[in-house]
């Protein structure tokens, strides 16, 4: 029995190796693009869910205080970056804002004059609070609290606590 010479299949084998390596590299590139797009959609979905939750809470509070104009109807929380070097990701910002907003939910429905007079109390309620998100601890500080008619707006900063 005669064995065919290997030199005959050498070009075919190298061509097959090139095709297989091209398929592997192409699938890796495709998966990285797909994962990046999926991550963007995930962040966008959470942003829309948060916005939906906020709008539902606003509708609920406005329905509760529809005929009473001297009551707080809306609480807005805005997270400002502490410094340019410590920028927090958008989904963590939204979670921190949502947590602070849920703590200030007790303000909704109260008289605006009572909230204005007890503003330091609400500031102490939030300041130096520690939130644990994604295995990281964040310390919250209040920059300012503004009460305009029936809307309470709070500006806060968050800093990651180094342990």
- Position 68 scores a pLDDT of 64
Q: Is 131 exposed, middle or buried (0-12, 13-18, 19+ CB in 10 A)?
A: middle
Question: Alpha-carbon distance 16 to 46, whole Å?
Answer: 45
- This prediction's pTM: 0.58
- Per-range mean pLDDT, top range of 28-32, 129-133, 157-161: 28-32
What crossing angle do the helices spanning 90-103 and 10-64 adopt, rounded to 10°?
A: 20
CA 2, CA 64: separation in Å to the nearest integer?
93
CA distance 144 to 150: 17
- The pLDDT tens digits for 88-118 are 888 888 888 888 888 888 888 888 888 888 8
């Amino acid at each position: 029995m005669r064995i065919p010479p290997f030199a005959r299949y050498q070009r075919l084998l190298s061509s097959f190796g090139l095709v297989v390596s091209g398929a592997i590299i192409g699938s890796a590139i495709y998966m990285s693009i797909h994962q990046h797009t999926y991550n963007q959609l995930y962040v966008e979905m959470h942003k829309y869910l948060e916005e939906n939750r906020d709008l539902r809470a606003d509708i609920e509070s406005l329905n509760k205080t529809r005929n009473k104009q001297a009551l707080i109807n809306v609480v807005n929380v805005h997270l400002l970056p502490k410094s340019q070097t410590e920028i927090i990701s958008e989904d963590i910002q939204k979670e921190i804002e949502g947590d602070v907003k849920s703590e200030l939910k007790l303000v909704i429905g109260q008289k605006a004059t009572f909230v204005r007079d007890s503003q330091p109390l609400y500031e102490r309620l939030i300041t130096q609070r520690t939130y644990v998100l994604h295995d990281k601890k964040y310390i919250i500080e209040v920059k300012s609290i503004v009460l305009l008619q029936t809307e309470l707006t709070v500006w806060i900063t968050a800093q990651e606590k180094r342990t």
